[in-house]
Amino acid sequence: MTKPSPRELDHPPFAFVLFGGTGDLAMRKILPALYAAHRDGLLAPDGRIVSVAQTALDTGSYLRWVDEHVKPHIPGTAIDDSVWRSFRERIAYVALDASQPEAFFSLGDTLGAGHGRRIFYLATGPALFVPICRALASAGLTEGSRVVLEKPLGYDLESSNAINDAVGQIFKEDQIYRIDHYLGKEAVQNLLALRFGNSLFEPLWRREWVESIQITVAEELGVEGRGNFYDQTGALRDMVQNHLLQLLSIIAMEPPQSMDADAVRDEKLRVLRALKPVLGEEIRQSVVRGQYHAGAIKDTTVSAYHAEPGVRQGSTTETFVALKVEVENWRWAGVPFFLRTGKRLAGRIAEIVVNFKPVPHSALGAMALRPGSNRLTIRLQPNESIRLSALAKQPGMGMTLQGVHLDLAFDQFFQQGRMEAYQRLLLDVIAGRLALFVRRDEQEAAWRWVAPIIEDWATQGNLPKPYASGTWGPAAASALLARHNTCWQEEEN
């Protein structure tokens, strides 16, 4: 038997089947990421992409659709026409109604034999996850394959478990890749490197030295034509249950024994299971729910949430959530974690802010006693960076302190280009690396923690507080931190 070449081992052959191949996610994220991997020489030469959707197109007309809708979302320099042409040659299109299991036999004919590992990416609504997986099984296409499930995986704990149970009857756990693209961001990877590759921070990464931690994922955009979907979901399900709790678990986790998938995910799971439940009256004290009204974003007037297409009249769906969270374990007991996410806010930003405690006594004046004088800011978007804030003496006479910053901007320090989150994650799926994907028990623990909040909102009539578009959310979100003698980072000045 001929041994595979090192290149074939590094970049194994594959057939990447993209359900929802005409959708927004495919055009904005998935196909641009696959193009970038192709351009960088990270895909096997015989790797194929088969896009699947209900729209009646042939491959030629689909490729023209791809030309129009994918190219604008490819970051970086100008697209090389020859590279783009060779990328298009990988792509085929199959028109298929996912609700008709017998149609999947034609997909099997298109895939044929060979071409390495089959990867089924379900960039569809969660209602189609189980029917697609069952139809793939009926057509004999699941043996040795992998399936990628996009969020949201269900509407609550019960529906999430129902999907996981049904998919788990067809695919083994190590074949299931539950994707959270925040875990693929360069700055999140660098958070792991910062914590576990340097002795400098580990002694400080605990309750004795950390005052509080903030996690913010803010968007300027509204629901962008997805009113029907978003009105059934809301910010708690769309962002907190997955992205923010995953980021929290990485910040708070213990050092894993190795970077193997289960070693990392075991430690994240321990954090999720250590989250202090938020119950009853404490929900009113520790959780802020908001909904954007009309306002201005960068001098452009935008409408209120209830005026968005697809949103129900009188909808109480939240577009903003802020929470105080506690991790009940030895390392973090008593340290508040403040989580915040929302749409139509004053800026597009995703960052983690670790506020270290001030010195216990200062001979240099009150500046050294201010909370937040020493902090670590990990910026996830728009520009990935790490900033360490400290105090230094101002030049001149006297001993006057001033805040200074040590910055690591990845795009300036490293000469090679950044790998986008989806590109990294898709390459991990092809290679069979699971560390950056969510295991079922992690997902279940996150749903279990948010469940009492969801139930309280549904039964107690806790209406969202209004906030003007272009602000940082309801005033109650600032009051939440003020009760703990702190504030959101942008409010300090």
Which residues contact residue 345 at a Cβ distance below 8 angstroms, ignoring those fewer than 6 apart?
A: 218, 219, 220, 320, 470, 471, 472, 473
Instruction: Report the CATH number that the domain containing residue 22 is assigned in CATH.
Output: 3.40.50.720
Regarding whether 144 and 195 lie in a shared domain, the answer is no
Residues 127 and 198 in one domain: no
Q: Are residues 206 and 57 in the same domain?
A: no
pLDDT at 75: 77
Number of domains in the chain: 2
Q: Does 146 share its domain with 203?
A: no
State which of 131, 150, 169 marks the end of a domain: 150
For strands 146-149 and 117-122, give the pairing.
parallel
Split at pLDDT 50, 70, 90, the class of 5 is very low
Contact assessment for residue 145 and residue 175, using Cβ atoms and an 8 Å cutoff = yes
| Predicted confidence (pLDDT) per residue in 456-486, tens digit | 999 987 899 999 999 999 999 999 999 998 9
Residue 167 scores a pLDDT above 70: yes
Supply the pLDDT for residue 411.
Answer: 64
Return the higher-pLDDT residue of 469 and 190.
469
Sign of CA dihedral 232, 234, 237, 238: positive
Residue type, 36: A
**What are the tens digits of pLDDT across the range 273-328?**
999 999 999 999 999 999 999 999 988 999 999 999 999 999 999 999 999 999 99
Do 204 and 91 share a domain, yes or no?
Answer: no
Let me know whether 394 and 460 are in one domain.
yes
pLDDT for the residue numbered 390: 76
The mean pLDDT value of the chain amounts to: 90
Residues 139 and 64 in one domain: yes
Question: The tokens of 17 are what?
Answer: 């089947």
Q: Domain with 459 in it: what CATH number?
A: 3.30.360.10
Binding site listing for substrate: 181, 185, 219, 238, 343
User: Which residues fall in the annotated binding site?
Assistant: 151, 181, 185, 219, 238, 343
Q: Is residue 472 part of a domain?
A: yes
Residues 128 and 258 in one domain: no
CA angle 405, 411, 416 (to 5 degrees): 140
Domain enclosing residue 106, as ranges: 6-150
Q: Is the pLDDT of residue 21 over 60?
A: yes
Enumerate the known binding-site residues for NADP(+). Answer: 151
Same domain, 94 and 191: no
Look at residues 150, 165, 195 and tell me which one is the last residue of a structural domain: 150
Statement: residue 373 has pLDDT above 70 = yes
**174, part of any domain:** no
Task: Based on the fold, state whether residues 329 and 234 are members of the same structural domain.
Answer: yes
- Residue of 4 and 188 predicted with greater confidence: 188
Q: Answer whether residue 170 is part of any domain.
A: no
Q: What percent of the chain has pLDDT over 90?
A: 68
In a domain, 172, yes or no: no
Alpha helix (H) ranges present in 182-334?
186-196, 227-230, 234-235, 245-252, 261-274, 281-286
Domain contains 270: yes
The predicted pLDDT at position 8 comes to 40
Q: What is the dihedral of CA 249, 254, 255, 259, to 10 degrees?
A: -40
Q: Which residues are catalytic?
A: 243
- Give mean pLDDT, residues 208-213: 95
Residues 471, 379 share a domain: yes
End of a domain among 130, 150, 170? Answer: 150
Non-local (6+) Cβ contacts of 276 within 8 A are 325, 326, 327, 328
Residues 83 and 20 in one domain: yes
Q: How far is CA 161 from CA 32, 167, 233, 307, 443, in A?
A: 32, 10, 17, 34, 9
Residue with the bigger pLDDT between 155 and 401: it is 155
- DSSP 8-state assignment for residue 358: P
Question: Coil, helix or strand for 288?
Answer: strand
Task: Indicate the range of 148-162, 317-331, 413-427, 472-486 predicted with least confidence.
Answer: 413-427
Mean pLDDT score, 31-40:
95
Asked whether residue 125 is assigned to any structural domain, the reply reads: yes
